[in-house]
Structure 1
Amino acid sequence: MSVSGPTFGWVLLGVVLRRLGALRQRHIDAVSRLAFNAGLPVLLFCSAAAVDYSRLAGARYLLAGVVATFVSLLASWAYCHWRGFTRPDTGVFVQAAFRSNLAIVGIALCHAAYGEAGLVLAALPVAVMTALYNVLAVWVLNVNLGGSRSIAGLLGGMARNPLLIGIALGVAVALAVDELPAVVPLAGDMLSSYFLPLTLVAIGGSIQLNTLHRLGPLTWEATAWRLCVAPAMAVPIALALGVEGRPLGVIFLLLSAPVAAASFVMVVAARGNGTLAANIIVLTTLLSCATVTLGFTALVYLGLVGDLA
């Protein structure tokens, strides 16, 4: 609860404030723009700049995250084929199964669990897997929905993504200097302590409970894959690769986060079932407070995720 409580408590506060009318859409839009264009890129820059990249070859937890992503994608696709889902529904389902909100909810969970050390450990997986998620999502939706977005357009969009730019600059600074200026870790600490909660409140405020109408089996099954099946497959993969302690905890928290909101945008752009995508995002966000808590509790009880902050 010390890990999931602070993170999802802010999300639930956003839900309550929106219902009470104290948080309006214009506030949510302003915070979201500030988070995407400034706050989160600077936070990820500070975290990436603190990484010791001389140990990159031993970053087995990063490899575990990448492998787990591909396994989740292929296994969920096979499940959709076995269940006889239509191709458009398969595209939405598969994207939801492998794509977590690691850049906001995931990194907030890592900070709650391990403090600044958690942010440093999470910076590299967030960078690599954010790019991987975008590439795989475009491919999955193109195959199943007939989207027309080109690879060149995808790469151009990724090159302009503020989150990836912040991480790339952080990596460049880490490789160029021997010792970071004191202002860099100070800025990262302030952003993680004060700005991340504001971003989580905005996520809660953006949840529209009235979209949860006529929830069918497909929504619940996709939610189960994102919150239960995918993390459950990731842990044995990480253990098989020799990942343990805090890196295992970081990978679990990143991969057990709810569906990324960007998945809705991509589904709508590909003319897919936007209602299904929105319902999965809302349901996974609401239920992840329970699934993350139970999953991380089990790992702590088994002594697999190291000492908490």
Structure 2
Amino acid sequence: MADSDTLKLIVTALSVSGPTFGWVLLGVVLRRVGVIQQRHVDAISRVAFMAALPVLLFASAALVDYRHLGDARYLAAGVVATFVTLFASLCYCRWRGFSLGDTGVFVQASYRSNLAIVGIALCHAAYGEAGLALATLPLAVMTALYNMLAVALLNATHGGQRSPRAMLLGMLRNPLLIGIGLGVAVSLLALPLPALVPQVSSAISRYFIPLTLVAIGGAIQLNTLHRLGRTTWEAAGWRLCVGPAIGVAVALLMGVRGQALGVIFLLLAAPVAAASFVMVVAARGNSVLAANIIILTTLLCGLTVTLGFSVLVALGLVGELVKPL
């Protein structure tokens, strides 16, 4: 391949990953110089989880015509890839001789990506509103799946006591799942959608999602990086390289191509979700390891997403991207 073609591929991939992780790095810098504090990060994260993201996901779900959804193989591929990654990483942990507690943290990190913020932002950057629409259904199904698997995994490795009933009630109260559920209901019942909703959704995706990404960067504590151990690096490798590779392989075997394949890759290539840390703390597990994995995967994800997406673009597998602004 000519050097000019290689450069074009890299620029194309950077047009997807660059803006997303540029905001994260801005948050790191702003936190470092003292412009934003932890209270700002907490406030932005709270508004995002309780209001902005549910509205965005509601609007995206409401605009999908599920009666003509047709091929949902990309959704099935995401689910299958999650299970394959979980069991493969569990075997890896046993081969490496990790303790039972560290195994739970490692395995959760290997399959649990940040779907709702980083994944959605990447899909929007790559495919615009079409990317949001394609990502909505996998986000709903896989968020619920991630939580169920995490509870079972941490119960098995940390002796947690959270019951299936409590887990179900927690998911039913999850604002993200509520927003998606209401949007699906509006679409299936053919209810009229107020004109204001798409406008608000567009404003959130343009202005608030970047602010949320800045908050992610602001939450990163660089002074903890010197404590990163080998297990942290291995877990990051699974989250950023092995997990997405498994996802793409499964999707290709199931015949997924085009934008659907791109969406699955971008969702699965996101860094570890912050919710994984909360669940490890609740299970009284190795919270330092969980936090370090989140930090490292967030810092490295821009590079791995760019390289991985470049390969998929070079192979002509991920469909047509939106035109960069």
TM-score, normalised relative to structure 2: 0.93
Report runs of 4+ in structure 1 exceeding 6 Å deviation: none
**1:169-226 Cα deviation digits (max 9, x unpaired):** 1001111126644323222211100110010000000011122232211100000000
Tell me if structure 2 keeps the 8 A contact 1:65–1:251.
yes
* Aligned positions, number: 309
Q: Which residue is 2:167 aligned to?
A: 154
Equivalent residue, structure 1, for 2:189: 176
- State the Cα deviation string for residues 216-263 of structure 1 (Å, max 9, x = none): 111000000000001011111101111100000000000000000000
2:123 paired with 1:110: yes
Could you tell me which residue of structure 2 aligns to residue 202 of structure 1?
215
2: distance between equivalents of 1:187 and 1:243?
32
CA distance in 2, matches of 1:169, 1:253: 25
The alignment status of 1:130 with 2:143, answered yes or no, reads yes
1: CA distance between counterparts of 2:93 and 2:287? 18
| Aligned-partner Cα distance in 2 for 1:205–1:161 | 24
Pick one of 215, 229, 241 that aligns with 2:242: 229
Letter in 1 for 2:170: G
What secondary structure sits across from 1:235 in the alignment?
helix
Match of 1:29 in 2: 42
Deviates more, 1:279-288 or 1:233-242: 233-242
Contact 1:211/1:275 (8 A) holds in 2: no
Out of 84, 101, 112, the position equivalent to 1:99 is: 112
Root-mean-square deviation (CA, aligned residues, Å) is 1.0
Which residue of 273, 276, 289 corresponds with 1:263? Answer: 276
CA contact (8 A) 1:141 1:270 kept: yes
Q: What stretches of structure 2 of length at least 5 have no aligned partner? A: 1-13
Shift of 1:56: 4.2
Amino acid in structure 2 at the alignment position of 1:146: G
Where does residue 13 of structure 1 map in the other structure?
Answer: 26
Structure 1 residues 55 and 72: CA distance shift in structure 2, 3 A? farther
Letter in 2 for 1:109: L
Structure 1: gaps spanning 5 or more residues = none
Distance 1:80 1:96 in 2: 12
Instruction: Give 2:88's aligned residue.
Output: 75
Q: CA deviation at 1:52?
A: 1.5
Taking the aligned partners of 1:173 and 1:235, their CA distance within structure 2 comes to 32
Identity of aligned residues (%): 72
Give the letter for the 1:74 counterpart.
F
**Matches of 1:291 and 1:106 in 2, distance apart?**
14
Q: Which residue of 2 aligns with 1:2?
A: 15
Aligned residue among 247, 250, 253 for 2:260: 247
**Which residue of 297, 301, 305 corresponds with 2:318?**
305
Structure 2 residue aligned with 1:66: 79
Give the match's secondary structure for 2:64.
Answer: coil
Q: Is 1:53 matched with 2:66?
A: yes
State the distance in 2 between where 1:15 and 1:137 align.
28
| Aligned-partner residue type, residue 90 of structure 2 | W
Q: Distance in 1 between matches of 2:228 and 2:37?
A: 26
1:120 lines up with 2:133 in the alignment: yes
- Other structure's SS at 2:227 match: coil
